[in-house]
Amino acid sequence: MKVKVISRSTDEFTRERSQDLQRVFHNFDPNLRTQEKAVEYQRALNAAKLDKIFARPFIGAMDGHIDAVSCMAKNPNYLKGIFSGSMDGDIRLWDIANRRTVCQFPGHQGAVRGLTASTDGSTLVSCGTDCTVRLWNVPVATIMDSDNLSDCSSEPRAVYMGENAFWAVDHQWNGDLFATAGAQVDIWNHNRSQPVNSFKWGTDSVISVRFNPGEPNLLVTSASDRSIMLYDLRVSSPARKLIMRTKTNSISWNPMEPMNFTAANEDCNCYSYDARKLEEAKCVHKDHVSAVMDIDFSPTGREFVTGSYDRTVRIFQYNGGHSREIYHTKRMQRVFCVKFSCDASYVISGSDDTNLRLWKAKASEQLGVLLPREQKRHEYNEALKNRYKHLPEVKRIVRHRHLPKPIYKAGVLRRVMIEAERRKDQRRKAHSAPGSIVTEPMRKRRIIKEVD
């Protein structure tokens, strides 16, 4: 004969220590919880609302420059350090954690247009409109962390003269070479006062240059003649050239997918390309209402940040057509440079109002050390929002962003103009012979031609 009894061991519900949480057991039978979906949906709704309540992305401003911040560079060897250069020739090294200037590098007689750090973080390379390239010794982390900054070196280690103004500089991810952009693309070595190689394709100035993170000998540039050019240091001539309808201000490679890069364009959009297939953009990233001035990928390669002439900073998914976040303040003016921090947790922007601003990459992220229970709670809320993100109410709350009135009006006007142009194309096509007018997708429309 079977006898059913209820039995339990004290080990299953007794706490080992008085500080431990009381164990609670749940029966997950769906028949006992008929309202489980409704409860989860309400929790997802509350999580989306709480995100809006706790969205405080702005952390602080770093003041010290006396002219517009024109360029920035990360120190790959030191998480808290970032370099900035301004239009009056001043270069500063900042401690992001304390938001203070650690070291100054005076010497440039004109605007500083490009900054980059070597792979080991020991050398800073700067260039500007005074036709010079300067190499500086970067103070070590122990000096940066101390309060005594008298040992900081402020004299350039080397000064290399050029014939024309320089507009950008970038260092190899692995190697001793760096490239400058100006009237031509020059390849330099740390120990030589003359370029080891030079490339020129066309007569217009090159305004940005970026080395590939995966292939050290490959670099991409953009020029004022609206072109994007790929160079290979192993051959004597440029590899490929893409001509667009408007100028590209800056370019950034995806560090996790080194064959892809994204270009920040004058027409308010960003275009992601595959370097192996330049005849069509992989994705068009829209939302800005003025020229996009700078772009930088997150170290994770899943998103990038852009700064625009419309006085806003936006964060895009690497494959998303619209921004997931927009940052702005009343005092921030035209944004000339943006960077992701090396741990992908923060965004730094430099603007026309002489300030660097520090933002959280996730607007509602809680700073500081989180308890395990807090961490689990955040992860649970994220999972809930992700599960119910397609529902109208959750989608509306998550997507909503407050915009300043000038940007909102400019966005409305831009949408009206795009819609009018689309209607005009439709009517032209309807009143033409069948097949005589072919509608090109947006990914191809802004490309004029590709030159090999």
Say which CATH number the domain at 234 has.
2.130.10.10
Q: Is the pLDDT of residue 219 over 50?
A: yes
Of the pLDDT bands very low, low, confident and very high (cuts 50, 70, 90), residue 150 is very low
Does residue 287 register a pLDDT over 70? yes
Q: Using the predicted structure, report yes or no on whether residue 221 has a pLDDT greater than 90.
A: yes
- pLDDT tier, 30 (very low <50, low <70, confident <90, very high otherwise): confident
Q: Is 207 a member of any domain? A: yes
Number of Cβ within 10 Å of residue 10's Cβ equals 6
Contact 160, 179 (CB under 8 A): no
Which pLDDT does position 148 carry in this prediction?
A: 57
Q: Which of 158, 127, 144, 177 is nearest to 77 (CA)?
A: 144
- Quick one: tokens of 138? 């970067």
Residue 291 inside a domain? The answer is yes
More confident residue, 2 or 43: 43
Whether residue 345 contacts residue 97, with contact meaning beta carbons closer than 8 Å, is answered with: no
pLDDT value of position 26: 77
Angstrom distance (rounded) from CA 386 to CA 398? 10
Q: Is the pLDDT of residue 114 over 70?
A: yes
Mean pLDDT score, 79-104: 92
Tally of structural domains, the chain: 1
CA distance 46 to 54: 12
Tokens read off for 155 = 């004299």
pLDDT tops 60 at residue 363: yes
CA dist list (Å): 119 to 57, 116, 136, 292? 30, 10, 14, 28
CB environment 409-445: b (16+ within 10 A), e (fewer): ebbeebeeeeeeeeeeeeeeeeeeeeeeeeeeeebee
Average pLDDT, the chain: 90
Q: What is the dihedral of CA 288, 291, 293, 294, to 10 degrees?
A: 40
**pLDDT-derived band at 151, boundaries 50, 70, 90:** very low
| DSSP per position, 332-392 | ---EEEEEE-TTSSEEEEEETTS-EEEEESSTTPPPSPPPHHHHHHHHHHHHHHHHTTTSH
Q: Band of the pLDDT at 143, cuts 50, 70, 90? A: low
- pLDDT band per the 50, 70, 90 thresholds, residue 146: low
In a domain, 27, yes or no: no
pLDDT of residue 175: 87
pLDDT at 155 over 90: no
Which amino acid, 405?
K
- Per the structure, the complete domain to which residue 178 belongs is given by 58-363
Whether residue 426 is contained in a domain is answered as no
Which range among 5-14, 104-113, 282-291, 398-407 shows the weakest confidence by mean pLDDT? 5-14
Question: Which among 224, 227, 212 is positioned nearest to 275, based on CA atoms?
Answer: 212
Phi and psi of 31, rounded to 5°? -70, -25
Average pLDDT over residues 135-148: 71
* pLDDT exceeds 60 at position 310: yes
Confidence of residue 290 (pLDDT cuts 50, 70, 90): very high
Percentage of the chain exceeding pLDDT 90: 70
Q: In this structure, are residues 138 and 126 in contact, taking their beta carbons and an 8 Å threshold?
A: no
- Is 89 among the domain residues? yes
Residue 142 has pLDDT above 60, yes or no: no
The pLDDT score that the predictor gives to residue 249 is: 95
Half-sphere exposure of 85 (CA within 13 A, CB side): 29
Residues 118-138 have a mean pLDDT of: 91
Residue 130 is assigned to a structural domain of this protein: yes
At 8 the pLDDT is 75
Does residue 77 register a pLDDT over 90? no
Percent of the chain with pLDDT over 70: 97
226-275 pLDDT per residue, tens: 999 999 998 877 788 999 999 999 999 999 999 999 999 999 999 999 99
CA separation for the pair 248, 223 (Å, rounded): 7
Cα 79 from Cα 119, distance rounded (Å): 13
Question: What gap in Å lies between CA 137 and CA 114, rounded to an integer?
Answer: 16
* Structure tokens, 112: 């500083």
pLDDT, position 144: 60
Buried b (16+ CB within 10 A) or exposed e, 212-230: bbebbebbbbbbebbbbbb
Structural domain includes residue 221: yes
Report yes or no on 149 lying in a domain: yes
Please check whether residue 105 is in contact with residue 136, taking contact to mean a CB–CB distance below 8 angstroms: yes
